[in-house]
Amino acid sequence: MKLIYINLKSNSISQKEITPESDFYLLGARGLSSKIINDEIEPQCDPLGSKNKLIIANGLLTGSPFPNSARTSVGAKSPLTNGIKEANAGGRSAMMLARHGIRGLIFEEVSDSLRLLIIDENQIKLEDAENYKGLGNYELHSRLKSKYGDGIGIYSIGPAGEFLMRSATVASNDLEGYPSRHAARGGLGAVMGSKKIKAIVILPPKQSQIPMYDLKKFRETSTPFAKALAQTKQTFSTFGTPMMMKGMSGYGGLPTKNFRMSSYDKIDDISGEALHEMVISRGGKKRLACSPTCVIKCSNLVVDENGEHITSSLEYETMCLNGSNLMINDLESLAWIDHYCDDVGIDTIEYGGTCGVAMDNGEIEWGDAEKVIDILNTEIRNNTEIGKKYGNGVKNIGQLLNAKRVPQVKGQEFLLMTPES
Ligand code: SF4
């Protein structure tokens, strides 16, 4: 396995083999990116400046058949927290990187024009990406697939990343081909935008498996673990993370009305069970894996009444931060909020928290899903003053509105549950 260094100032690409003597030999994913950030990045540097580095790292077992091991870890100094940040996503690309023999990509310095990084069997190169400028992730992925083939893996940023918004994500295409999996937290899409990398395109490698010392022995351990994991997660596989909605509301831990309340009287409208019914009745999909080797398969694919794709996957955090937290009790609206967050490349958690503060301060009516969608699709997409207000996180809007109630820690929106629970 090797690390690939991409210097965007000199346009040079180099690689280092990870040997048993290397500092990184037993490090992958968060451990690998955090060590590089800790050792190589000046602590006081501007997270959106040339001294920060963006690291896309695989886990130690990525590329093997070990269950749930093919996820992507993105790391950098965060423009939201100013600390060491890791954000994790599913998608197809981590496995493809591993099969190219790559454990990590390290972007250094900044480019002076928008670029693609292309990873092919024979070479890794930078290409001009000015003609993709401003595209949302859906259109971008569609164009990249037309040019490079349907089987490619993609990491990309939407307009929010290009505009250096501090809630911006790094998107990854899922196994169905949609740009639905996001390394969303901490504004790492803005770091990718500051480096002017619009997308990383990974062409399918020729080898379908990475060589292993003793695959038979490895499977003797991994197969029983995979079976146990799948068997013990049956309910979770059926309902996915949205199954937490009702439980958290009943237990008193559900973020509701900008965290003023911890349960929601309209929870039945937006529960995991209601989503399950809607997906099944419309011909959507359940029990999907979002990355290769996943045996739990907790993801869903939500379609409209005509069976057309809206989003995949609608998850608990998106539903509570944009649902109960904003008093929006309509699953279809939540699916569209998720869709537009994915398209412009904004963290659904940070965005739900931001809109919650705005509603609490009279900027938007409680429950106004149309406005929440319009801000994403019009204001953030076009980098308007309103877009900047809503695309830079909960702390930013709290300061702009002089708000008294801002749910954040170190500049980043809370996730999952109310603090008291
Ligand atoms: S489908 Fe669910 S369990 Fe499987 S990798 Fe994706 S998030 Fe994890």
- Domain match, 198 and 238 both: no
| Cα 68 to ligand 1 centre (Å) | 7
Contact between 415 and 317 (Cβ < 8 Å): yes
State the ipTM, two decimals. 0.99
CB atoms within 10 A of CB 329: 19
- Domain match, 10 and 108 both: yes
Question: Considering the domain boundaries, does residue 142 fall inside one?
Answer: yes
Angle between helix 331-344 and helix 348-360 axes, rounded to 10 deg: 120
- Domain match, 110 and 165 both: yes
pLDDT for the residue numbered 419:
84
pLDDT for the residue numbered 206:
86
User: Which atom of ligand 1 is closest in space to residue 68's alpha carbon?
Assistant: 5
| Cα 287 to ligand 1 centre (Å) | 9
- Domain match, 102 and 24 both: yes
- Domain match, 186 and 247 both: no
User: Which atom of ligand 1 is closest in space to residue 296's alpha carbon?
Assistant: 3
AA letter at 293: T
Question: Considering the domain boundaries, does residue 381 fall inside one?
Answer: yes
Our count of domains for the chain comes to 2
| Cα 97 to ligand 1 centre (Å) | 19
Angle between helix 272-282 and helix 331-344 axes, rounded to 10 deg: 80
CATH of the domain at 25: 3.60.9.10
* Interatomic CA distance for residues 40 and 89, integer angstroms: 24
Question: Considering the domain boundaries, does residue 348 fall inside one?
Answer: yes
- Domain match, 332 and 242 both: yes
Candidate from 297, 300, 312 with most ligand 1 atoms within 8 A of CB, to mutate: 297
Ramachandran bin of 381, using left for φ above 0, alpha for ψ from -120 to 50, beta for the remaining angles: alpha
Residue range(s) defining the domain that contains residue 391: 228-413
**Which distant-in-sequence residues (6+ apart) come within 8 Å of 352 by Cβ?**
318, 320, 321, 322, 325, 326, 337, 413
User: Which atom of ligand 1 is closest in space to residue 294's alpha carbon?
Assistant: 4
Candidate from 181, 293, 299, 316 with most ligand 1 atoms within 8 A of CB, to mutate: 299
Q: What percent of the chain has pLDDT over 70?
A: 100
| Cα 295 to ligand 1 centre (Å) | 8
* Interatomic CA distance for residues 413 and 160, integer angstroms: 17
pLDDT tens per residue, range 174-219: 999 999 999 999 999 999 999 999 999 999 998 877 888 899 999 9
CA neighbours closer than 13 Å in the CB half-sphere of residue 314: 38
- Domain match, 328 and 190 both: no
Domain limit, last residue, from 202, 217, 242 = 202
Question: Considering the domain boundaries, does residue 214 fall inside one?
Answer: no
CB atoms within 10 A of CB 63: 28
CATH of the domain at 300: 1.10.569.10
Question: Considering the domain boundaries, does residue 386 fall inside one?
Answer: yes
- Domain match, 153 and 27 both: yes
Question: Considering the domain boundaries, does residue 279 fall inside one?
Answer: yes
Q: Is the omega angle on the peptide bond into residue 69 within 30 degrees of 0, that is, cis?
A: no
* Interatomic CA distance for residues 312 and 288, integer angstroms: 10
C-alpha to C-alpha distances, 374 to 285, 325, 337, nearest whole angstrom: 27, 18, 9
Angle between helix 137-148 and helix 331-344 axes, rounded to 10 deg: 60
Question: Considering the domain boundaries, does residue 215 fall inside one?
Answer: no
Ramachandran bin of 120, using left for φ above 0, alpha for ψ from -120 to 50, beta for the remaining angles: beta
Contact between 358 and 397 (Cβ < 8 Å): yes
Contact between 161 and 189 (Cβ < 8 Å): yes
Provide residues with CB under 6 Å of ligand 1.
68, 90, 289-291, 294, 296-299
pLDDT tens per residue, range 209-262: 788 889 999 999 999 999 999 999 998 999 999 999 999 999 999 999 999 999
Low-confidence ranges of the chain (pLDDT < 50): none
| Cα 369 to ligand 1 centre (Å) | 28
Q: Whose CA is nearest to atom 6 of ligand 1?
A: 290
| Cα 372 to ligand 1 centre (Å) | 27
- Domain match, 19 and 164 both: yes
User: Which atom of ligand 1 is closest in space to residue 298's alpha carbon?
Assistant: 2
| Cα 33 to ligand 1 centre (Å) | 21
* Interatomic CA distance for residues 53 and 4, integer angstroms: 13
Question: Considering the domain boundaries, does residue 211 fall inside one?
Answer: no
User: Which atom of ligand 1 is closest in space to residue 291's alpha carbon?
Assistant: 5
| Cα 154 to ligand 1 centre (Å) | 18
- Domain match, 25 and 73 both: yes
- Domain match, 259 and 341 both: yes
- Domain match, 168 and 119 both: yes
Angle between helix 272-282 and helix 244-251 axes, rounded to 10 deg: 160
